[in-house]
Structure 1
């Protein structure tokens, strides 16, 4: 398998459902994506988060694997990167299989941006409004009745810097007992 990399980067300064492609984004430590409507140190009010704006923002950066778009295309849903509101579209990483607290290093060298994984993005009614029938493809139940959220993961910026389309991604999972991702 090829090394994981950034397929594309996206942002929106308004609370629109989709985000616009840009060749790079700038991550701000403890804040999120510079110029993106979801950046901030405190929780943003949305249908997916608590209305308590004093809690830390665990949803500073949204990442989706490009492989999801390929899977959806096979089910007759043509979705482009950025269309589901992600900031970073990745290739070559099982994002949903990462442990909580995993670190994603973007680029090469020692001085690179770092995002720490906080949990899953739980898709809501906006996805269904965007494309009818899509919610059932990204929010499923397994054989044991557990909810499976396939709409990407969320993270916080541990170290800021520029993330470029094409940057390599290095994953470092936490030591010791691994905790699976839950919606945040």
Structure 2
């Protein structure tokens, strides 16, 4: 198998659905991507800020595997880097199969720790009608256009759907990240805990 790599990096200083691809991003420990709207020690996602602005920010860096884009292409959707709002587009690593607290070494310096899954929402269909079915399916694998329960909802962990819209992480070690950088996966000690929506 090929060495997992960073396929592209993106950021946006405003809260928009998509982010702009850039040559490099700077990850800052305990903060996120410098110059990105979602950077901060406390929650930055607007709906979560309305609920409780003092929550820790478990969504500092959003990563999406490029394989999701390949699936989208087979289903008739063309996506480009940053389109799904990701900061890091990866290649060669099944992010969704990794457990909580997995560390990803991005390039020579930066390290992020996985906190959970991105919960696909209706905004994906606002971006491209029908796209939600690419990243959300029932447990039998059947694609669905029905949004997953909100992370504020008690049903979020009990409704059985498969989320493939990427993973969320926090920055543990600062560093610059660029397309082409190698990714090294460091699994956590102990029994693995599956990623859940955050």
| TM-score normalised to structure 2 length | 0.88
For 1:136-161, what per-residue CA distance to the aligned partner results, in whole angstroms no more than 9, with x for missing partners?
22111113972111000000000111
Match of 1:130 among 127, 130, 136: 127
Q: Is the 1:102–1:117 contact (alpha carbons within 8 Å) kept by the matching residues of 2? A: yes
Assess, with a 3 A threshold, how the Cα gap between structure 1 residues 135 and 86 changes in structure 2: closer, same or farther. same
Structure 1 residues 16-95: aligned runs within 5 Å: 16-47=16-47, 51-95=51-95
Secondary structure in structure 2 of the residue aligned to 1:114: strand
CA RMSD of aligned residues (A): 1.5
Q: Matches of 2:7 and 2:24 in 1, distance apart?
A: 11
Structure 2: 5+ residue stretches without partners: 142-158
Q: Which residue of 2 aligns with 1:165?
A: 179
Query: Which has more helix, going by share of residues?
Result: 2
Q: Is the 1:26–1:160 contact (alpha carbons within 8 Å) kept by the matching residues of 2? A: yes
| TM-score normalised to structure 1 length | 0.94
Moved more, 132-141 or 8-17: 132-141
Structure 1 residues 86-125: aligned runs within 5 Å: 86-108=86-108, 112-125=109-122
Aligned length, in residue pairs = 181
The Cα of 1:46 is off from its aligned counterpart by: 2.6
Structure 1: 5+ residue stretches without partners: none
Q: Matches of 1:137 and 1:45 in 2, distance apart?
A: 23
Assess, with a 3 A threshold, how the Cα gap between structure 1 residues 45 and 169 changes in structure 2: closer, same or farther. closer
Secondary structure in structure 1 of the residue aligned to 2:181: coil
The Cα of 1:50 is off from its aligned counterpart by: 6.7
